[in-house]
A and B are shown apart, each in its own frame.
Chain A
Amino acid sequence: GENVEQHPSTLSVQEGDSAVIKCTYSDSASNYFPWYKQELGKRPQLIIDIRSNVGEKKDQRIAVTLNKTAKHFSLHITETQPEDSAVYFCAASDREYGNKLVFGAGTILRVKS
């Protein structure tokens, strides 16, 4: 089955700087890669996703890139703001098990103002 590794586990940046979180996956057949944001005490919510037929996707200050050859994908947040502080989870679909989502361990992002 699929295995997803996420780095770093914690990330501190100054307000206005960029933040990058990276994930690697093991199953080359995986075709869907979402990113979820979980604010303190809240539920995870989808912020952006990408499919295997696309190399990059942007939505305002956030973007996701996918390198299928290297089997890794990254979340990029530009012009970070204090409200970006949260835990971010990447995930990949597991084709062997009905496309269920397999999540990374999460990254705690702290934006210092």
Chain B
Amino acid sequence: EAQVTQNPRYLITVTGKKLTVTCSQNMNHEYMSWYRQDPGLGLRQIYYSMNVEVTDKGDVPEGYKVSRKEKRNFPLILESPSPNQTSLYFCASSLGPGGTEAFFGQGTRLTVV
């Protein structure tokens, strides 16, 4: 089954404790991206990757890192989480950046206290 898998689904952490949210897709998509969803703000892109070892900042990259060592995986790293990073996070993949359907993961609800 074609899918995008994120883990964990829920995470509560403390300020400053490094964390990683994993994302994996099995559709051989080249383009992957991370979004955060906040009430009234829609889906805002954090980082994206056009292919292996090619990543770039989205609209709200501050406080986040990503890597793309393999085509299928695109982890999101918060080196020193802060309470303003409390949000719902989605990973997505698609054949290309635009003009094709984006497939979303199940979401990760992150709370930073």
Contacts and interface: CB of A to CB of B under 8 A. Distances in A.
Interface of A: 6, 9, 31-32, 34, 36, 42-46, 49, 51, 89, 93-94, 98-106
B42 A51 contact: no
Contacts of A6: 42
B99 A46 contact: no
A100 B31 CA distance: 10
Contacts of B35: 103
A106 B42 CA distance: 6
A45 B105 CA distance: 10
B65 to A, nearest CB: 19
B40 A45 contact: no
A101 B78 CA distance: 23
Contacts of B79: none
Interface size class of B (residues with CB under 8 A): 20 to 34
B96 A99 contact: yes
Contacts of A100: 33, 45, 48, 58, 97-98
Given A101-B102, A106-B40, 14 more contacts: A32-B98, A43-B106, A43-B107, A46-B101, A46-B102, A89-B42, A94-B98, A98-B97, A100-B33, A103-B35, A103-B42, A103-B43, A103-B44, A105-B40
B41 interface: yes
Interface of B: 33, 35, 40-45, 48, 50, 58-59, 90, 96-99, 101-102, 104-107
A49 B101 contact: yes
Given A44-B90, A98-B50, A100-B58, A89 B99 contact: no
8 contacts: A32-B98, A44-B90, A46-B102, A99-B98, A99-B99, A100-B48, A103-B43, A104-B42
Contacts of A103: 35, 42-44
A32 B90 contact: no
A17 B98 CA distance: 33
